[in-house]
Amino acid sequence: MQVTNSYASQLGADSTSTASNSTSSSGNLANENVFLQLLVAQIKNQNPLEPQDSSAFMGQLAQFSQLEQLTQINDQLTELNTTATASATAADSYTGSDSTTTGN
């Protein structure tokens, strides 16, 4: 089911751009909120005599679930990259240094 401009205008969003390629968490959260608001608006404003096809509704929910999972994976990879960079920087500080060990 396609969202018409009247639904999007009620929410203050552009119906043609409900998602962006933003990498920030706040941007992703805003996109998730817009998606949920549009989904609720679709359900509220559908024609009771011709309700939305349940397979289309489930498809939208599956897309939202995939988006949420990909966002979480992206956040975890960003955190892992930050940790790896910090570890590499710490290891570089020991390059060229002498070390002394004592043994039994």
Based on its alpha-carbon atoms, the radius of gyration of the chain, rounded to whole angstroms, reads 24
Q: What angle do CA 63, 42, 21 make, to 5 degrees?
A: 40
- Contact (CB, 8 A) for 71 and 28: yes
- Contact (CB, 8 A) for 54 and 44: no
- Residue pLDDT, tens place only, 18-31: 344 444 556 666 77
Instruction: Look at residue 24 in the predicted model and tell me its pLDDT.
Output: 53
Q: Is the pLDDT of residue 11 over 90?
A: no
**Three-state DSSP class for 102?**
coil
The pTM assigned to this predicted structure is 0.49
- Residue pLDDT, tens place only, 51-76: 777 888 888 888 888 988 998 999 99
Instruction: Look at residue 76 in the predicted model and tell me its pLDDT.
Output: 95
Element counts in the chain: helices (H) and strands (E) = 3, 0
